[in-house]
Chains A and B, each alone.
Chain A
Amino acid sequence: MSATLAPSAGVTFAPVLQRAFPDGAVRVEPRPAHDVPTLVATAEAFPAAARFLRDDPSTSFDLLLDLVAVDRSRLDGPPSCRGEERFQLNALLYSTKRNEHLRLRVALPATDPRLPTLVETWPASNWFEREAWDLMGIRFDGHPNLARLLTHNGFVGHALRKDYEAGQRWLCTDEDVLQTRLAAKTDLPEDVFETTTLNFGPSHPATHGTLRIVVRLDGERVVAAESECGYLHRCFEKMSETHTYTQVIPYTDRLNYCSPMINGAGYARAVEQMLGIEIPPRARAVRVVLSEFSRIMDHMVCIGANLVDVGGLTTFWYSYQAREEIYSLLEACCGARLTSSYARIGGLSMDVPANFVEWCRSLSRSVRDRIDEVDTLLTKNRILHKRMMGTGVVTKEQAIAWGFTGPCLRASGVGYDVRKDKPYDGYDEVDFDVPVATAGDNFSRFHVRMEEMRQSLRIIEQVVSRLPGGPVVSDDYRVVLPPKEMVYNEMEGLIFHFKNVFEGIQVPAGEVYSFTEGANGELGYSIVSDGSGRPYRVKVRPPCFPLFAAFEKIVVGGLVSDAVATLGTLNIIAGELDR
Chain B
Amino acid sequence: MSDKKFPLPAARIEPPLAPGVPSTTGFDFLTTKLDWFVQWSHKNSLWPMPFGTACCAIEFMSSVSSHYDLARFGAEVVRFSPRQADLMIVSGTITDKQAPILRKIYDQMPEPKWVISMGVCACTGGFYRAYHVVQGIDEIVPVDVYVAGCPPTPENLIYGIIELQKRIQSGDLARHREAKTYVPIRVGTDPVESLPAYSKGVMAHGRSSESGFAAMEGPVEAAKAGKGETR
Contact = CB atoms under 8 A, between A and B. Distances in A.
Interface of A: 150-152, 154-156, 159, 164-174, 202-205, 208-210, 230-235, 238-239, 250-251, 254, 257-258, 301, 305, 316-317, 320-321, 323-324, 327, 337-339, 574-575
Given A169-B131, A171-B192, A251-B127, 14 more contacts: A159-B132, A169-B96, A171-B185, A171-B188, A203-B80, A205-B80, A231-B101, A232-B53, A234-B132, A239-B127, A317-B66, A320-B65, A338-B55, A575-B55
15 contacts: A151-B97, A152-B96, A152-B132, A154-B188, A171-B185, A171-B192, A172-B96, A172-B97, A202-B98, A208-B52, A235-B130, A235-B133, A238-B130, A321-B65, A324-B62
The 10 closest A-B pairs by CB, nearest first: A235-B130, A257-B55, A320-B65, A152-B97, A169-B192, A174-B100, A154-B189, A209-B53, A205-B80, A317-B66
Interface in B102-123: 105, 121
B146 interface: no
B129 interface: yes
Nearest to A229: B97
Contacts of B199: none
A541 to B, nearest CB: 20
Contacts of A205: 80
A208 B57 contact: yes
Contacts of A209: 51-54, 57, 92
B131 A238 contact: yes
A398 to B, nearest CB: 29
B4 interface: no
A171 B61 CA distance: 31
Interface in B127-172: 127-133, 150-151, 153
Interface string B45-68: 000000111110111011001110
Given A164-B131, A202-B101, A171 B53 contact: no
Contacts of A167: 129-131
Interface size class of B (residues with CB under 8 A): 35 or more
Contacts of A323: 62
A148 to B, nearest CB: 10
B101 A257 contact: no
B191 A235 contact: no
B190 interface: yes
A239 B130 contact: yes
B98 A232 contact: yes
B89 to A, nearest CB: 12
Contacts of A168: 131, 191
Contacts of B129: 166-167
B68 to A, nearest CB: 8
Given A204-B80, A257-B58, A320-B67, A210 B132 contact: no
B99 interface: yes
